[in-house]
Chain A
Amino acid sequence: KNEVEQSPQNLTAQEGEFITINCSYSVGISALHWLQQHPGGGIVSLFMLSSGKKKHGRLIATINIQEKHSSLHITASHPRDSAVYICGIGGSQGNLIFGKGTKLSVKP
């Protein structure tokens, strides 16, 4: 069983829709990371969180430590949000285990 499960694997949305990507994990963690990878390969760290909720622009990340679950929300989605979103869970030394990613396509 994978330690990090993301859902859905693929997601197609219309511009303006509210999007939710889920991440469930099975082990104790120091932190959970959300990454964004655009076509072309560059990876950007969106959030690192260990409790509660963080917001950056139209992106919101939440985590429930007891339920071992995190969500990434995108409000008012836009075609430039099209990317692969990757969840990673971290040990105390930063060694991350990643989910397989969610490929998001936002249509105009």
Chain B
Amino acid sequence: DVKVTQSSRYLVKRTGEKVFLECVQDMDHENMFWYRQDPGLGLRLIYFSYDVKMKEKGDIPEGYSVSREKKERFSLILESASTNQTSMYLCASSFWGPDTQYFGPGTRLTVL
């Protein structure tokens, strides 16, 4: 079975802190994705990566950056957390582009 893990289920940070969210998949998938999910807005794509060291902006990249140094790991970075980044963050991976995506359990981030 494909397993996508995220470093934390719950995280509380202060405004201005640098935040790292880590995602690891164990199925040698090429593509990895970071989404955020907010009530009334649904799932929105922040960034995705289709290869090591490659990244593409999604629909809402502002305030975020990503890093993919190894194929299995995709990190989402909030350089200076703000209260409007309080959200559920979900990572996903797929073998190739339009293939089935496998989701991690999510990290509920609260920025105070």
Contact = CB atoms under 8 A, between A and B. Distances in A.
A100 interface: yes
A93 B50 contact: yes
Interface residues of B, number: 28
A41 B42 contact: no
Given A30-B98, A41-B106, A43-B90, A94 B48 contact: yes
B77 interface: no
B42 A100 contact: yes
Interface in B1-54: 31, 33, 40-45, 48, 50
Interface residues of A, number: 25
Contacts of B59: 97
A97 B94 CA distance: 15
Interface of B: 31, 33, 40-45, 48, 50, 56, 58-59, 88, 90, 92, 94, 96-103, 105-106, 108
